Structure 1
Amino acid sequence: MGKHSSAVTRSNSNRRAVYLTAVGLLVISLGAFFVVRSFGSEAGADGLLGGGSCDDPVQVKLSTTPDLQPQLESAAKSLAAKGGEDGTPCLQFTITGASSAKVAQDLASGSDQRPDLWVPDSSLWVARADDGESIPSIAVPSVATSPLVLVGRSENFANTSSWLGSFGGTQPALLDPLGTSEGALPLLAIQAERAKTSASNTQVASVLVPLAQRLGSMAKQYTEVDGPLSKASADGSNIVVPVSEHSFVKYQEDHPEAQLKAIVPGTGTLVLDYPVVVTARSNAEAVSEAGKALAQEMLGDAGAQARDDAGFRDHLISPLGAGRGVGDISQLTKPTAASVDKTLQSWATLSLSAHSLAVIDVSGSMAEKVAGSAKTRMQLTIEAAESGLKLFPDTAALGLWTFSTKIGDDSADYRKLVGISKLTPAHRGQMLSQLKSQTARVGGGTGLYDTAIAAVREVRSNYDSSAVNTVLLFTDGKNDDPGSPSLDSAIQALGRLRDPARPVRIIALGIGPDADATELNRLAQATGGRSYVARNPTDLQQVFIDALQSR
């Protein structure tokens, strides 16, 4: 708080927020557009809530999402006009428009450009604004609301039972979940609705893994709704877009020809709640009172019609007037701060490109038929790998080896089939062709340890710092190569190769009843990776999806 002159300024800013996750430093681009205006009493007050004349109004810096800025400006003007009358506070607000993600990042980094009050579009950002000293406090829970809706052509809403179901048969186009509330809330809704749907981790992963890979491969993430909504409205489009009801209503007004409808899945939805948050380092109580005064003005009868006209609901989430929007809604349980962090960190990991080497066991035991199936372990493994390949976008880089005792050059326990490279159509075709041609090697043993060490070295030699670097190791047994090092020696060798600054993790997938879970777990853990075992090989495809989710 302090003295400010009335001003209108515009500027563009791009900040890169750095998130520390289990896979390293993730750099997220956050864009923002700033509009600053001052509104306040021409005459002032003796104190923040003083009465009488307003010759010297108290200055309050407020930052808000640009969508709500006009409504807050109107409320500030109205409050200023009453300043000094009947105990009305004498305040002058300097209002700045900026994305909620950017303000949260600025606050968390301890920036000196700190507002006194902040009105983000969602309270999910409040905990993420923690600077290590204090978390901003909420003075008013909500001055407006807008539920998350799913927008698309009518023919794309065959399944509206849940968010996950609605995503399953369509092509969802999300705004950047790490930089926008409208992008984050759909992911949180999928997690929140599991209390009603009992969706398994595998069911969720089968939708979110390919979605994250596809959107993560985009040269630039969506940060505005017009782009994806325009694509969703095209004839024959199967795109659906989660946005706020406010965004949908405004898009309809600007594009009345668009053949789009908005729905809320049967499980319910989450809501953008626009809280008033105290971010001042000093005079917090006085700033809180200023925020409450502004909120009261905005929530009053005078502001109700303007708010509704702009496509915002009131703090009680009452339906919009004139039949606009989606009408009455049911709400999902609001996620906790811990749930928000976990979901967004998981997305950040999933959306990173892959730089991986798939290593497939072709030892003799892979020719065994699977109980209850007409297929062999080898056939089911190849099918799982083929399905997994479809999850990766063209920007991912993959390679392929097979392994069995003395199968390779110079009697190595591994054979290099396809080098690690981007999944161009030609490279993807080569991967598929090699996969389909593989058969189990009669009499071949499982040279697991030497192969694991060599595969990690291979990925390290082609390390990509912008991707998740992994070895995807498929096997149905345990090491039975008498000429290989011991398990302890293999663990030590993998430990020597481990570099926290350039991690290469083994994701081990055991197949069938003979897979040694302990051995695979020790090999994977030596690299910081994880192991999974599908005792029933018919479950391998789903286990593979689970493994990709935890890269």
Structure 2
Amino acid sequence: MGKHSSAVTKSNNNRRPVYLTAVGLLVLSLGAVFVVRSFGSESGADGFLGGKSCDDPTQIRLSTTPELQPQLESAAKSLANKDNNDGPCLQFTISAAPSAKVAQEVKNGNDNGPDLWVPDSSLWIAQADDGQTVPAIAVPSVASSPLVLVGRGENFANTSSWLSSFAPPTSPALLDPLTQSPGTLALLSIASERAKTSATDLQTAGVLIPLAQRLGSMAKPYTDVNGLFGRANQDGSNVVVPASEASFVRYQEEHPEAQLKAILPRTGTLVLDYPVVVTAKSNSEAVTEAGKALAAEMLTDAAGQARDDAGFRDPQLSPLGGGRGVGDVTQLTKPTTAAINKGLLEWTKLSLSAHSLAVIDVSGSMAEKVGNKTRMQLTIDAAASGLKLFPENAALGLWTFSTKIGDLGADFRELVPIAKLTPAQRQRMLGSLTTQTAIPNGGTGLYDTAIAAVRAVRSSYDPSAVNSVLLFTDGKNDDPGSLSLARAVQTLESLRDPARPVRIIALGMGPDTDAGELRQLAQATGGQSYVARNPSDLQQVFIDALQNR
């Protein structure tokens, strides 16, 4: 949990001085952000909310996202000041922590977890499922803030959709999608808006894969939105930042000289909704009523003005006062739990760096024409396009294979050793790819090549990356001197190490591909196989493989 702040009040007299407790002084001495505060009486007792004197208040531990903590503390204090002798006797202790962190603590059954939780987005509720219950929503929203895109005006030439706004030459800087709601909602917005756009899987992957690879290669993900605003504000910057409207408004007020603007893509946006969630394992009915009482105080007219001043909208998304923010909002369809889980899982896989060996079939059948191009040319096109999706921190190498084309009669030939994709390495890869041609009458030495490729990647294993063999072929093994399929599968299984996995991602093309053979080879390593019966679909198959590696 975060550093604690207590809203503690006692209602048996009207004197409510504010003082720092000894714990608060200790927190200050440690340099903490959140100060422990008490609103209480001179009697020295623990303090109550509810407008009447009682000896045994219901203790309510509430955790919220840091930016909403002051609003909830004010609401708790205001609730205490009300003369409500029929209301419950409550004591709130309000702390602040990132929503993703609280979700994980609730999921793990932390004994010191909160009774009530106000995350910045309801997307985290499903992530708090402990396997027995999903936390219940007491109040759907006590505030809201739409997701906006922030940057310099010259970077918003195409705002027809989130996807187009993310496309080059802009450089999207996402707060960590695995822990920060604006980053998560940005990815979910791209998925949600596809009901309104004609974006293909290839177009979507062409933006998201390099973005995930670039951000995933960073030593530390982005978590400071103000720092990103500062980068976006620099002269000539092409950085655009998905962020809450509230964070942008606060930044504007603190930096009136900033040359930033916030826009909404025309497809619409998703919203941070700040629900009140019951996470208590016992006494849930009383905790629910406490949450409703506090939420009602948050939604009074008096609290509404303070909420607006802080840059938050009401739950109905009414525009902010004074012409601040982005005005009226069109909402995208709220993602389902399944869509949220899928989005987070896909990002996790995509953001892992690559340590891969591309192995391309150059047997005689690759010279066969499909339309205006040969299978070889289609494979080169797909591999060259795929190469553009990897950032410089990825490590790639290139082999070709047929039968007896390598040293000592090997079925494979090393063209480019695995190395980081520096501009020079990238050029070596492209140069070698574009000069490949099918070998007349060459066979397909698939089994021996697959085994050798896995061993090669293992020999240079990178524990921080996805280690894989990208195997392109248009046929099946036809090397009479090679192992049998059963023996090849057995050998690949013997090389399998769960602690150091090297997976085959097999990409077959054309009607001669033996899908069952590729599937067995890939599964022996924990990998997957894909087949494009029409070789012209190979590029899409390659994208699917990268997304599901």
**What's the TM-score once normalised by structure 2's chain length?**
0.90
Checking the alignment, whether the CA contact within 8 Å between 1:80 and 1:92 is kept in structure 2 is no
How far residue 446 of structure 1 moved from its aligned partner, in angstroms, is 1.1
Whether the aligned pair in 2 keeps the contact of 1:119 and 1:274 (CA below 8 Å) is yes
CA distance in 1, matches of 2:398, 2:434: 12
SS in 2 for 1:428: helix
Instruction: Tell me which residue corresponds to 2:506.
Output: 508
Q: Mean Cα displacement is larger for which, 478-487 or 241-250?
A: 478-487
Deviation at 1:66, TM superposition (A): 0.7
Distance apart, 1:218 and its partner CA: 1.1
Task: Look up the match of 2:138.
Answer: 139
Contact preservation (8 Å) 2:49, 2:79:
no
Q: C-alpha separation between the residues in 2 aligned to 1:505 and 1:119?
A: 42
Greater CA deviation, 467-476 or 494-503? 494-503
Q: Among residues 534, 545, 548, which one is paired with 1:547 in the alignment? A: 545
Assess if the C-alpha contact under 8 Å between 2:278 and 2:288 holds in 1: yes
The number of residues matched between the two structures is 529
Match of 1:407 in 2: 405
Q: Secondary structure at the match of 1:464?
A: coil
Corresponding residue for residue 241 of structure 1? 241
Q: Please identify, of 416-425 and 440-449, the stretch whose mean Cα deviation from structure 2 is larger.
A: 416-425
Assess, with a 3 A threshold, how the Cα gap between structure 1 residues 46 and 363 changes in structure 2: closer, same or farther: closer
Q: 1:418 to 1:456 in 2, by over 3 A?
A: same
For the 8 Å contact 2:51–2:80, the answer to whether it is kept is no
Q: Cα deviations across residues 60-96 of structure 1 (Å, max 9, x unaligned)? A: 22111111111111111111222x5343443332211
Q: Distance in 2 between matches of 1:290 and 1:44?
A: 24
1:204 and 2:213 equivalent?
Answer: no
Output the CA distance in 2 between the equivalents of 1:184 and 1:482.
52
Aligned to 2:518: 520
* CA 1:39–1:271: 2 relative to 1, 3 Å: farther
Gaps of 5+ in 2: 1-5, 9-19
Q: 1:497 to 1:11 in 2, by over 3 A?
A: farther
Equivalent residue number for residue 460 of structure 2? 462
Q: Give CA-to-partner distance per residue, 1:419-445, whole Å, 9 cap, x none.
A: 222223333333233223323222221
| Separation in 1, partners of 2:128, 2:166 | 30
Q: CA offset at residue 167 of structure 1?
A: 1.6
Q: Normalising to structure 1: TM-score of the pair? A: 0.89
Measure the CA separation in 1 of the matches of 2:7 and 2:247. 35
Aligned to 2:160: 161
The letter of the residue matching 2:438 is A
What's 1:152 paired with?
151
Determine whether 1:94 maps to 2:99. no
Alignment of structure 1 residues 100-499 onto 2, 5 Å:
100-169=99-168, 170-197=170-197, 199-371=199-371, 373=372, 375-499=373-497
C-alpha change, 1:240 and 1:417, in structure 2 (3 Å) is same
Mark the CA change 1:110 to 1:273 in structure 2 (over 3 Å): closer, same or farther.
Answer: same
**Matches of 2:150 and 2:159, distance apart in 1:** 11
Letter in 2 for 1:353: S
Q: CA deviation at 1:302?
A: 1.1
Determine the C-alpha separation between the residues in 2 that align with 1:11 and 1:423.
Answer: 47
Q: Is the 8 A contact 1:192 1:333 kept in 2?
A: yes
Residue type matched to 1:480 in 2? D
The 1:10/1:201 distance shift into structure 2, 3 A limit, reads: farther
CA distance in 1, matches of 2:519, 2:155: 43
1:119 partner letter: V
CA displacement 1:401-427 (0-9 Å, x = unmatched): 111100111101011222222223333
Change in CA separation of 1:135 and 1:44 when aligned onto 2, cut-off 3 Å:
farther
Secondary structure of the structure 1 residue equivalent to 2:323: coil
> Does structure 2 conserve the Cα–Cα contact (< 8 Å) formed by 1:183 and 1:242?
yes
Deviation at 1:54, TM superposition (A): 5.0
Distance 1:357 1:45, change over 3 A: same
RMSD (Å), alpha carbons: 2.7
| Worse-superposed segment, 183-192 or 45-54 | 45-54
Q: Determine if contact 1:40/1:76 at 8 Å carries over to the other structure.
A: no
Counterpart CA distance in 1 for 2:137 and 2:45 is 26
Change in Cα spacing, 1:542 to 1:201, as seen in structure 2 (3 Å) is: same
**Relative to structure 2, which stretch is displaced further, 52-61 or 176-185?**
52-61
Q: Distance in 1 between matches of 2:445 and 2:501?
A: 24
Q: 1:127 corresponds to which letter in structure 2?
A: A
Q: Aligned equivalents of 1:3 and 1:51: distance in 2?
A: 14
SS at 2:519 equivalent: helix
Cα pair 1:149 1:264 within 8 Å, conserved? yes
Range that drifts further, 510-519 or 468-477: 510-519
8 Å contact 1:44–1:58 — kept in the other structure? no
The amino acid across from 1:114 in the alignment is G
1:39–1:76 CA contact under 8 A, matched in 2: no
Q: How does 1:21-60 map to 2 (within 5 A)?
A: 35-40=34-39, 42=41, 52-53=52-53, 57-60=57-60
Name the CA distance, whole Å, in 2 between partners of 1:300 and 1:349. 44
CA gap 1:117/1:36 in 2 versus in 1, 3 angstroms: farther
Equivalent AA in structure 2 for residue 445 of structure 1: G
Deviation at 1:39, TM superposition (A): 4.8
Distance 1:449 1:67 in 2: 58
Alpha-carbon separation, structure 2, partners of 1:41 and 1:292: 23
Contact 2:355–2:394 (8 Å) recurs in 1: yes
What does the per-residue CA deviation read over 1:14-55, in whole Å, with 9 as the maximum and x for residues that have no partner?
xxxxxxxxxxxxxxxxxxx76253455538999998763256
Distance 2:450 2:58 in 1: 67
**Superposed displacement of residue 57, structure 1:** 4.4
* Comparing 454-463 and 270-279, the one that deviates more: 454-463
Matched with 2:15 is none
Alpha-carbon distance in 2 for matches of 1:262, 1:426: 38
Secondary structure at 1:191 match in 2: helix
Deviation at 1:357, TM superposition (A): 0.8
Sequence identity, in percent? Answer: 72
1:203 CA drift (Å): 2.9
Q: Which amino acid aligns with 1:197?
A: T
Aligned with 2:467: secondary structure?
Answer: strand
CA distance in 2: counterparts of 1:501 and 1:304, whole angstroms: 54
How far off is 1:387 after superposition? 2.1
Q: Residues 142 and 275 of structure 2 are in contact (CA less than 8 Å); yes or no, is this contact kept in structure 1?
A: yes
